[in-house]
Structure 1
Amino acid sequence: MDIGEINDDAHGITTPRIYTPPLRPLTPATSDGYGVIEFAERFLHVNLYPWQKWLLIHGLETNPDGSYRFRRVVAEVARQNGKTTVMSVLCAWWLFVDSGRRPELSPSWKFLIVGAAQTLDNARAPYSAVLNWCNPTPQTDEEAALAVPALQKRVQRVNNSHGEEAIICRNKAQYIVRADKNIRSKSASRVVFDELREQHTDDGWNAVSQTTKAIWSSQLWGISNAGDYRSIVLRRVVDEGRRLSDSWNASVETGQQTIDEWTEAHDTSYGYFEWSAPDGCELDDLDGIRQANPSLGYGPMTYRSVIADINGMTEAAYRTEVLCQWVTADIIPFIDPKQWKRGIDKKSSIPFENRVVLSVDTSADRETTYVAAAGYRADGLPHVELIMRRDGMLWVPKYLGMLRESWPNITEIAIQSKGCPAVDFCDPLAEAGWTVHMIEGFRVGACTGRFKDRVKEGKLRHLPQPAIEQQVSVAITRRLGEVEVWDRQKSAMHISGLIAESQALYALETMNAEPVKQQRSAYDSETGHGLLVL
């Protein structure tokens, strides 16, 4: 199929700058993308742009058994290039064509498409387009003009209740839209995750990504513009996709490995496609704009209309929105992430006979509580570790009691005693016999500064824990008098795990406790106990 690409300076570049190559030539027999394009033209009367066709053909590559090669597809492209249109077309094809193609492996009554996003409004964008094409009861002349009779006949009913929106077909296939955290219990055949850049914590992505695991030939599509320092989920999948592309180029393209040799050592079920300008290019760079804006010249977007935004936007916003480049200079974390990584020791631990201080801290919205530990290693260096993270607060006293039963010489816990949710723990834990170290007054700033000093000096060790590494990368401070203190509100995500580690370290180094009886090591295989590592 000729996808209609025009190669001149007035048009965008169809092929993404960075992408996952196909494992075999793509034809109508090896990619469902061709069928989606034909469906769009014949039934929806939508003529897709060349880049949209390219994405569908490559993203819907199939295995010899007909299942999708990619279980995850992530695409990055600048704003206003037609992301919603291509996702709407794909969802319509899934619902009205794909849902009934393999009843023996994926019966239509189990076929569920989920549109997800950080907010329900973002998730509704592709859904609304599909509804316009298939609504069996249009309310206005405008809605009736958009409807496709062949699709209207396939719909049994539509649920318009807020938060419960759904299109239910006569074959029982469904398309629903939900805010990301509200689909945790559902199993989905297809998921479209819009505006992935808005995921500032792992919670939504973790909930959504688990829904497709038990389904034959399932797919999760995430499509987004470039992110910023807060976009931790998108940053991770972008880095993963770029590494796979770089590995392919260094191994297969150079002839050092065959395709089969490469696939044996790499994840071939992840497809990554990035339309972006090269980092550091000039704001008005023609080729960079063409590369990030593949719709250029095929619709109303022109080079002149793009560069007209240069003077009306900040450089950071222009690079992110128009050039699809990552701009991370918006924040300078209090602790240098590179210095933090130098303290990683995969074998680091606290000997059981050594003193251990715990700390507990809860996020400002009271949604998540963290427990951390600090103690000295055998070589005398302090070790910090996140040992538990769970939603809410009520579980903490019982958990700490169970921990103390299994490791009786843990008796100390550090808590910020004013101005934060964790203050609720002070009295109950003291009444339960814990030695509670109050982090208040000058100590709030001292524990923040001391923690940074230990990291900078290379005198702190810790395990590789992604949850803490993410918090380090976005944790900022605010001035309180003459000192810096952790800023729970303005950091880009919850940083209570990091705060708990800093408090535990401060109490370990500066606050005394009654000596405790020496016990057998919790790392001894005969005891079966030890710190819980996330």
Structure 2
Amino acid sequence: MAATSQASRSGQTDAAKPVRKKRPKLYGKEKPRVYTPPLHQLEPRSPEAEAWTLGYDVIDFAEQVLKVNLFPWQKWLLVHMLELLEDGQLRFRTVVVLIARQNGKSTLSQVLALWIICVWGWPLVLGTAQDLETAEEVWQGAVDMVEESEELAPLIDKVVKVNGKKALEIIRDVENYKQTKRVKTRYKVKAANRKAGRGFTGNLILLDELREHQNWDAWGAITKTTMAQVEALILALSNAGDVTSVVLRHLRRMGHEGAGDPDGICKSGDELMPDLIDLGMESSSDDEEDDEWDDEDEWEQDPESLGLFEWSAPPGCSKWDRGGWAQANPSVGWNPGFTERTLASACKTDPEWVYRTECLCQWSDGILEGPFAPGVWEEGQNVPEAGPDGALQVAQADQIVSDVTIGLAQSSDREYVYMARAGYRADGNPQVELVAARHGTGWTFDYMMHGNRRKRIKAATGQSKGAQVSALIEDLSEAKSDPENAFDVPVEPWQGTDLTNGWSRFMDAVNHKKLRHHKQPPLDLSATTAVLKVFSGGATLPDEKASPAGTAPLMAAVAAFWLLTRKEEHELPPPPPPAAVLATEVEAATPAEANGLGGWSGDIGSVGF
């Protein structure tokens, strides 16, 4: 007797069993969602297409020499980012690539760097990242590729592995005017800071994780190494940033504008506030200009030489949108270890703003989580108005008209001191604004004493005990008390219960929609992502260590607001001195009267109630 199937035993025939359709395998998109359109027909590969790009040469080098099989998106990018002009020079001098994490950015940069120094012959490739360790890991991967290649290994002249000075040096023969010349090329690494690249003349600059550049210091130091080069390329690779990613945000906006502004980010009004937070404290009544004003125009790129290639999920899509996954992760499915299941697991377990930034390459405004009621921080932002020339500007009603108080805070790495001011608007509501963020502490003295700023400052404060900024507050206090010092701004201590009271009042003002502020990226991100520390009595304070974006910009604003709204305690006058008493009267008084005991002799029975 034939064995009975499990379906038959349960009363269900095989014919009635539902058929589950198998989901087709998810493959990442080859083309980015947003990109600078090419000037020539670059695909499919043909002799005509090869004449307009160096990309196909790099692809052949990767596959035939390095034995690296590039993903479709990497090949597409190389072909388009290395497009040539009529005169044979590279079309782009700056290329920005936006793509989700773990999709192969490092491999792409390694292949390009090795082709540049081993084949094309540019003298110097300079690789950078926000921390030196990351840059060195990418560099080490490139060194491994060369050492494992039968064709490239003989070209190695020297590999310097000293920490902080790592370099790969290649010596190759180049035929020029029927003569053979030995040429040395190098691939060095540096940390992305204000000193990076100074003293070097670079040709290919690799900037990894440009999203971490929260000011223009490193960008200015590194990219200016290419200024004297006829041929050079700056390649910036990054995941999506947030509101503090000032360099990437600026370049992305320019790239989107060149691509037709598909997401509408060029008309959002975000450009109202300069990315460099050094806004000065000038009002319409200030006559003096700040000589140290930093203008974003200084870093303006030539739109014709900037290429943007962005693999990202479309705005507004569900975080479960598989099409968005494929658009932001072009390596999914092509890389055996990177599957749809990997993304699904992250989507299920990550906080939404983390998943969207890291896996969908979507920009976070820092509004999904934070210490305030949902949406109230954004409701307190001032809306810009169009000026006479059509440019956006701060509305007259959104300006501080009163004198101001100053709040200071310092980042946990002691890299920056943030200065905020607080004052009252014409409508009577309080307003806070970041006015400066600079390296070190010494600048704060002159900044507050400069011109008409000093006339408006009532006092300054910052956490006076237990914080990074406490030493600065002590120095300011000592300078104020020194008669020989020109600094005369009153400095008030802020410590103990005043800290938690100040934060409580700040939270109440935000949640009750009484506090106004401009749209300023560092303050917005710090305020909307701060993690609170709860004390035993229930009081709270922003926790610098636990907050993903730090709390220094926020605490500078809280300090200024506390000083503006605090209730000043007035000490009661001392009691008047006792009336003069003649010595003869004291001698005639009883012992109890002389002791001021009101006639009580010490016997409790004599006291009336």
Normalising by structure 2, we get a TM-score of: 0.65
Q: Does 1:415 align with 2:431?
A: no
One-letter code aligned to 1:314:
T
Q: Does 1:85 align with 2:87?
A: no
Distance verdict in 2 for CA 1:446–1:202, change over 3 Å: farther
- Equivalences for residues 57-68 of structure 1 within 5 A: 57-68=79-90
Indicate the RMSD between aligned Cα atoms, in angstroms: 4.0
Q: Does 1:53 align with 2:75?
A: yes
Q: Does 1:448 align with 2:448?
A: no
Give the match's secondary structure for 1:22: coil
Distance verdict in 2 for CA 1:423–1:323, change over 3 Å: closer
Partner of 1:486: 542
Using the TM superposition, name which of 474-483 and 168-177 deviates more.
Answer: 474-483
Q: Counterparts of 1:12 and 1:48 in 2: how far apart (Å)?
A: 13
Greater length-normalized contact order (CA 8 Å, ≥ 6 residues apart)? 1
1:501 to 531, 553, 557: 557
Give the match's secondary structure for 2:493: strand
Paired residues of 1:133 and 1:148 also in contact (CA < 8 A)? no
One-letter code aligned to 1:413:
A
Partner of 2:127: 115
Partner of 1:314: 349
Q: Counterparts of 1:399 and 1:329 in 2: how far apart (Å)?
A: 32
Q: Counterparts of 1:321 and 1:368 in 2: how far apart (Å)?
A: 26
Using the TM superposition, name which of 238-247 and 438-447 deviates more.
Answer: 238-247
Q: Does 1:269 align with 2:305?
A: yes
User: CA offsets per residue over residues 377-424 of structure 1, 9 Å max, x none?
Assistant: 556454544333222234434554x43897356452223223213333
Q: Tell me, which stretches of 5 or more residues in structure 1 are unaligned?
A: 1-7, 101-110, 135-142, 251-264, 515-534
Give the match's secondary structure for 1:247: coil
Q: Counterparts of 2:160 and 2:480 in 1: how far apart (Å)?
A: 53
One-letter code aligned to 1:192:
L
Partner of 2:523: 468
User: CA offsets per residue over residues 89-140 of structure 1, 9 Å max, x none?
Assistant: 111122223345xxxxxxxxxx431111133332134422332344xxxxxx
Q: Counterparts of 1:202 and 1:409 in 2: how far apart (Å)?
A: 30
Q: Counterparts of 2:95 and 2:83 in 1: how far apart (Å)?
A: 11
Q: Does 1:130 align with 2:142?
A: yes
Give the match's secondary structure for 1:388: strand
User: CA offsets per residue over residues 191-221 of structure 1, 9 Å max, x none?
Assistant: 2222445667776556545554554443222
Q: Does 1:390 align with 2:430?
A: no
Distance verdict in 2 for CA 1:212–1:330, change over 3 Å: farther
Partner of 2:16: none
Paired residues of 1:200 and 1:492 also in contact (CA < 8 A)? no
One-letter code aligned to 1:428:
E
1:176, distance to aligned residue in structure 2 (A): 0.7
User: CA offsets per residue over residues 325-381 of structure 1, 9 Å max, x none?
Assistant: 567677325485522432662656556xx5332232222333322233333455645
Partner of 1:39: 61
Distance verdict in 2 for CA 1:86–1:366, change over 3 Å: closer
- Equivalences for residues 9-20 of structure 1 within 5 A: 11-20=27-36
Partner of 1:158: 159
Q: Counterparts of 2:132 and 2:63 in 1: how far apart (Å)?
A: 29
Give the match's secondary structure for 1:413: strand
Give the match's secondary structure for 2:50: coil
Q: Counterparts of 1:374 and 1:318 in 2: how far apart (Å)?
A: 35
Using the TM superposition, name which of 402-411 and 426-435 deviates more.
Answer: 402-411
Paired residues of 1:366 and 1:393 also in contact (CA < 8 A)? no
Partner of 1:221: 235
Normalising by structure 1, we get a TM-score of: 0.72
2:95 to 69, 73, 76: 73
Distance verdict in 2 for CA 1:488–1:187, change over 3 Å: farther
Q: Does 1:332 align with 2:370?
A: yes
Distance verdict in 2 for CA 1:360–1:281, change over 3 Å: closer
User: CA offsets per residue over residues 24-61 of structure 1, 9 Å max, x none?
Assistant: 33333332212222333343333423221101111122
Q: Counterparts of 1:380 and 1:289 in 2: how far apart (Å)?
A: 48
1:178, distance to aligned residue in structure 2 (A): 1.9
1:503, distance to aligned residue in structure 2 (A): 1.9
Paired residues of 2:369 and 2:528 also in contact (CA < 8 A)? no
Paired residues of 1:284 and 1:307 also in contact (CA < 8 A)? no
Paired residues of 1:122 and 1:195 also in contact (CA < 8 A)? no
Q: Counterparts of 1:322 and 1:29 in 2: how far apart (Å)?
A: 36
Paired residues of 1:166 and 1:175 also in contact (CA < 8 A)? yes
Q: Counterparts of 2:551 and 2:220 in 1: how far apart (Å)?
A: 18
User: Which structure's CA Rg is the greater one?
Assistant: 2
Q: Tell me, which stretches of 5 or more residues in structure 2 are unaligned?
A: 1-23, 43-48, 172-182, 265-300, 385-393, 483-487, 571-609
Q: Counterparts of 2:38 and 2:308 in 1: how far apart (Å)?
A: 11
1:430, distance to aligned residue in structure 2 (A): 4.4
One-letter code aligned to 1:422:
V
Using the TM superposition, name which of 48-57 and 60-69 deviates more.
Answer: 60-69
Paired residues of 2:243 and 2:521 also in contact (CA < 8 A)? no
Q: Counterparts of 1:338 and 1:331 in 2: how far apart (Å)?
A: 13
Using the TM superposition, name which of 43-52 and 470-479 deviates more.
Answer: 470-479
1:180, distance to aligned residue in structure 2 (A): 1.6
Q: Counterparts of 2:456 and 2:202 in 1: how far apart (Å)?
A: 47
Distance verdict in 2 for CA 1:89–1:15, change over 3 Å: same
User: CA offsets per residue over residues 220-276 of structure 1, 9 Å max, x none?
Assistant: 2232445678867656655664565452699xxxxxxxxxxxxxx993433222334
1:175 to 172, 184, 187: 187
Give the match's secondary structure for 1:407: helix
Q: Counterparts of 1:487 and 1:307 in 2: how far apart (Å)?
A: 35
One-letter code aligned to 1:487:
D
Paired residues of 1:115 and 1:178 also in contact (CA < 8 A)? yes
Partner of 1:21: 37
How much identity, in percent, do the aligned residues show?
35
Give the match's secondary structure for 2:84: coil
Paired residues of 2:382 and 2:517 also in contact (CA < 8 A)? no
Paired residues of 1:168 and 1:175 also in contact (CA < 8 A)? yes
1:13, distance to aligned residue in structure 2 (A): 2.7
Aligned length: 466
Paired residues of 1:117 and 1:179 also in contact (CA < 8 A)? yes
Distance verdict in 2 for CA 1:204–1:242, change over 3 Å: same
Q: Counterparts of 1:148 and 1:288 in 2: how far apart (Å)?
A: 41
1:161, distance to aligned residue in structure 2 (A): 0.9
Using the TM superposition, name which of 155-164 and 503-512 deviates more.
Answer: 503-512
Partner of 1:291: 327
Q: Counterparts of 1:40 and 1:156 in 2: how far apart (Å)?
A: 21
